[in-house]
Amino acid sequence: MSFRSIIATVTGIIIFSGAASLSIASDNAAVLEQSMSATLDLWREGRYEQLFDHLAHRGKTSRESFVKKMKVTKVKPACCWQKMENFKVLNEKRTEATVYVKVGLEGTPGTADSSTREFKLTHEEGVWKMQLSDIYAISEVTGKKGKHSSKKSKAAALHYNK
């Protein structure tokens, strides 16, 4: 084998493996986005018991307590294309991922109608799950007002939209 054919073979392998990595990353991003979208759909539809099962890191929160809190909030994800915009995977490991996305909201008491921030997802039971604390934060059931319009979120949005 000549030196040129060795170089060509090695270059081909590098290009092929790089393309395969991009394809896998793209597929994983689609899975993460679909999982988060399905979770937000459960919330929008008021299916709080199923939503509870699709959340990670529930701590000591009982299903009954969660359902009760979610029934009183007027905030819910927007429909259709407004539900999630600018979805980006920031970091992905085998069992954890961090994504950055703008979640459209309806029923917010203020002027802000979205939450643009990082969300942590955990891979449990073969599916990617959002954190219960993230749902509480953007639904405002914790009593902390204005969380989705904080300066930190705006600064993060500027950083990630560069």
Query: What CA–CA distance (Å, rounded) separates 38 from 45?
Result: 11
Nearest CA-CA partner of 40 in 54, 27, 58: 54
Residue position matching structure tokens 């930190």 = 152
Q: What is the pLDDT along the chain (162 residues), one digit of tens a residue?
A: 666 666 655 555 555 544 444 334 557 899 999 999 999 999 999 999 999 999 998 889 999 999 999 999 999 999 998 999 999 999 999 999 999 999 999 988 776 689 999 999 999 989 999 999 999 999 987 533 444 444 444 444 444 444
- Domain locations in the chain? 3-160
Domain range 3-160, CATH architecture: Roll (3.10)
Query: What CA–CA distance (Å, rounded) separates 40 from 64?
Result: 19
